Structure 1
Amino acid sequence: MDALLNVVQYFVDLGAAVMLPLVIFFIALLLGTPVSKALKSGISIGIGFIGIGLVIGLMLNNLAPAAQAMSENFGISLSVIDIGWPGSSPMTWASRIALVAIPLAIAVNVLMLALKLTRVVNIDIWNIWHFAFTGAIVDIATGSYTLAMAAVAVHAAFAYKLGDWFAPTVDRYFGLEGIAMPHGTTGWFAPIAVFMDWLIDKIPVLRDIDVNPSHLQKRFGTLCDPAIMGAIMGIAIGLLAGYDVKGVLTLAIQMSAVIVLMPVVVKYIMGGLLPISEVAKQKLQQKFGNADFYIGLDCALLLGDPVVVTASLLFIPITILIAALVPGNIILPFGDLPTIGFFIAMAVGVHGGNLFRTLLTGSVVMALTIWISNQTIGLHTQLAANAGQLTAATAQMASLDQGGSPLTYIATQALTLTNVSGLLFVGGFYLLCVLFTIVWSHKQYKEWHAEKGDISSQEVQA
């Protein structure tokens, strides 16, 4: 058993840029793909993930200092630094929950497929760490390994259902046919976007505002070209940070590069994944009839959308402002700032590319995330201590990604009842959003099948 766990740990330690290409390569071979094509797909995916890492690194290395400078300029003093998912994922993989979480999440997926409770075939093995994080936090909060495993299973099952519910959005808006996003960040905030879209539709004036970069570009021409918009946002952030002329202009070019390069590197991932997903879909349809199946992949595929990238950059200053306004907050957004696109990507699709609505939804999402992150500081710090990653005895750890997850918070509070009012508020609000999503998803499937000329399809998920 220990030998098997060591092999799994070695595999996990390879990181997403190596781990996922290997997974895709072997899956492609199992599906009967020629070795040369399987190898090309795997390498293409690896190139894409390395590219995304470089672009996110560019953002992290330049936007994070600007964010701190903005905080200092506006007198925002917050004592706990958000370490982001790059800090949270290694300590999660080091927990006693993580390695068992992988086979458990896969088993849940297989069981749900067999019972026809999902059409998502998840191959995004790396991001099972999201499910493992929930289990690790529940383990620390309750001391029960059994409850921790149950939390992993519940999170995984819910993520697969999120993949089902939003498959039409992934296809209709993002143009990714046969793909789903059972992702532990993009997925669990998507229901909030559905509720917010309904709410905005009920408010006069607001419901008529449609700010879409593609529409703006048609109206205002070159000024709204993505590269120029990136430069403008870089200038704005540089000025808010109090940079000199050189610093402002440098940040402008760097942000312009981010907004242009992100779609380029995402194309490499798509180029590697889509052929394999199509083969997998065909094989599954041959085995199970004409049922629709969706291949579960990393939501990095969504980051190539211009509205997602634009909203991500805008949320750098917006998130810092929200952090200053959330009552009782002591967390300074930092590590997750460059990856806010993961938080709001599906909201862009739900809102049909409407940047205005995305900003409203994203503001609610970030406020909720920051509040929840504050409630989980103690548990997050213990997770870091267990992994040997505390730099000082008095240090505290927090992260927005996963540390601010409603699912993790609801699971932990339901089992410990340490903050009943918080559980009622977050749980009640999130349940409402999920119920709206189920109804909304039925409508989306009907419209989607009508567009495809398949009105009689029975594949509507609920």
Structure 2
Amino acid sequence: MQVLQYIVDLGATVMIPIVIFIVGLIFGNGIGKSLKSGISVGIGFTGISLVISLLTDNLGKAAEAMAKNFHLGLNVVDVGWPGTSPLAWASNLGLVAIVVSIIVNAIMLLTKMTKVVNVDIWNIWHMAFTGAIVQIATGSFTWGIVAIVVHAIIAFKLGDIFKPVTDNFFELEGISIPHGSSATMGIFAKPIDDLIEAIPGLRDINISSKTIEKKFGVFGQPSIIGAVLGLIIGLLAGFSVGKSLQLAIQMAAVMVLMPVVVKYIMEGLIPISESAKKIMDKHFKNSEFTIGMDPALLLGDADVIAAGLLFVPITLLIAMLMPGNRILPFGDLATIGFFIAIATGVHKGNIFRTLISGSVIMTITLWISNQTWQLQDKLGRSVGLLAEGKKVGSLDQGGNPITYLLTEGITKHITIGFIVILVLYVAAFVYTYVSYKKNKLY
């Protein structure tokens, strides 16, 4: 456990390359090839970390300024995934979650319940967080383990369900995204997409980075789209023209740099994926196993980034209009793309449709965050990472339906809100699963 804790403390940019190196050796790639894969993935995640820092340091300030300008007056601060993941790892279920999720993944692979070979050890913090919140709510370590198991099963199945999306739209063949809010909330996109498709006129609206570039030429290129959105956000934040122009260039840089750094990750993963496929096909014919990876890979798409920037003011607007809301969106605003990435893929890059499903996703996320923040607050104090007097919550995982439903269900706290979220989530999950399987896309 001490070795695991040491590796976890190194962070995702070191942890994932180490795991990739070990997986490469297991799949017979040799030391040199495995080392190259691990370092390439490390370079990619370091690049993503730098770009996300560019977002959080600059877009985060703009989001905070917008919140003040809109006079939201909300007193529970969303600390985002950077502030939430340490709580999960610091809990007594943090490292246990790694072992439990690996066992669950192995059992599911052996019983053919999933085709996802998860190597994204860092994002197991999502499952650890669910377990820790359930433990806080029930006082039971055992129920915490049960919650981790259930979350892991659902996550790996989500990786399977959205394989057509990661294969065909994102062109990440052999890669699956079983973690995070992207997959968890993506199930709402498919029924919404089919509903829009059934409405004449509405179904014909198609706005994407490609259609914009085709119509407006050079003015529709991703860098210019990013600059325009950055400028608008800066002006909405009340920044001076100069500071708004700086934000415009920074967001243009994000649009251009994110796809570049993602390519390094893919260069490292392709040899691993190919070797894994050969070995798996040898023992399990027609298995089509996929490598489970971080949803950050999806942020390399221009439509995801553009939609993510649009949802900065939209999420603040939802927070302002939602009755009884106490959560101030902040920490996760800069990386809102994680929440709507899979949805963007389901809509085949149609930003118009993403705005509709994304609004549903962010409304549900924000509402759930209001129900869980007190437990997260209690978790923060129990692990000694939250000072007295501060009230914190988070959209990422704090607004996760799986965490909410397990916590409320296990504690038998059955409310109208619980029933509504349960019905919506189960119905959307089943609909999405059946839709992709029925069309032989899954």
Question: Would the TM-score normalized by the shorter structure come out above 0.5?
Answer: yes
CA displacement, residues 80-101 of structure 1 (integer Å, 9 cap, x when unaligned): 1110000100111010111111
- Are the equivalent residues in 2 in contact too, given 1:92–1:98 (CA < 8 A)? yes
Question: 2 CA distance for matches of 1:290 and 1:441?
Answer: 19
Q: Does 1:136 align with 2:138?
A: no
Question: 1 CA distance for matches of 2:130 and 2:347?
Answer: 28
5 Å-filtered alignment, 1:314-329, equals 314-329=310-325
Alignment match, 1:188: 184
Name the amino acid aligned to 1:34.
G
Alignment match, 2:62: 66
Alignment match, 1:266: 262
Question: 1 CA distance for matches of 2:79 and 2:270?
Answer: 33
- Are the equivalent residues in 2 in contact too, given 1:19–1:126 (CA < 8 A)? yes
Aligned counterpart in structure 1 of residue 10 of structure 2, from 1, 10, 14? 14
- Are the equivalent residues in 2 in contact too, given 1:45–1:272 (CA < 8 A)? yes
Alignment match, 1:434: 429
Question: 2 CA distance for matches of 1:291 and 1:230?
Answer: 40
- Are the equivalent residues in 1 in contact too, given 2:76–2:391 (CA < 8 A)? yes
Query: What TM-score results when the alignment is normalised by the length of structure 2?
Result: 0.98
How far has the Cα of 1:6 moved from its partner? 1.6
Alignment match, 2:401: 406
Aligned counterpart in structure 2 of residue 123 of structure 1, from 119, 126, 132? 119
Question: 1 CA distance for matches of 2:113 and 2:289?
Answer: 12
Structure 1: state its 5+ residue gaps: 449-459
Q: Does 1:199 align with 2:202?
A: no
Structure 2: state its 5+ residue gaps: none
Name the amino acid aligned to 2:36.
K
Q: Does 1:308 align with 2:301?
A: no
Give the % identical residues: 55
Q: Does 1:280 align with 2:312?
A: no
5 Å-filtered alignment, 1:62-461, equals 62-392=58-388, 394-444=389-439, 446=440, 448=441, 460=442
How far has the Cα of 1:418 moved from its partner? 2.9
CA displacement, residues 341-393 of structure 1 (integer Å, 9 cap, x when unaligned): 1111111111111010011111111111111001111100011001111222x
How far has the Cα of 1:124 moved from its partner? 0.8
Question: 1 CA distance for matches of 2:244 and 2:126?
Answer: 36
For the aligned residues, what is the CA RMSD?
1.1
- Are the equivalent residues in 2 in contact too, given 1:131–1:184 (CA < 8 A)? no
Q: Which runs of 4+ in 1 moved over 4 A?
A: none
Query: What TM-score results when the alignment is normalised by the length of structure 1?
Result: 0.94
Aligned counterpart in structure 2 of residue 24 of structure 1, from 20, 26, 30? 20
Q: Secondary structure at the match of 1:81?
A: strand
CA displacement, residues 413-439 of structure 1 (integer Å, 9 cap, x when unaligned): 111233511110100111110111121
Q: Secondary structure at the match of 2:393?
A: coil
- Are the equivalent residues in 1 in contact too, given 2:185–2:340 (CA < 8 A)? yes
Question: 2 CA distance for matches of 1:438 and 1:253?
Answer: 40
Name the amino acid aligned to 2:431.
F
How far has the Cα of 1:184 moved from its partner? 2.5
Question: 1 CA distance for matches of 2:403 and 2:153?
Answer: 14
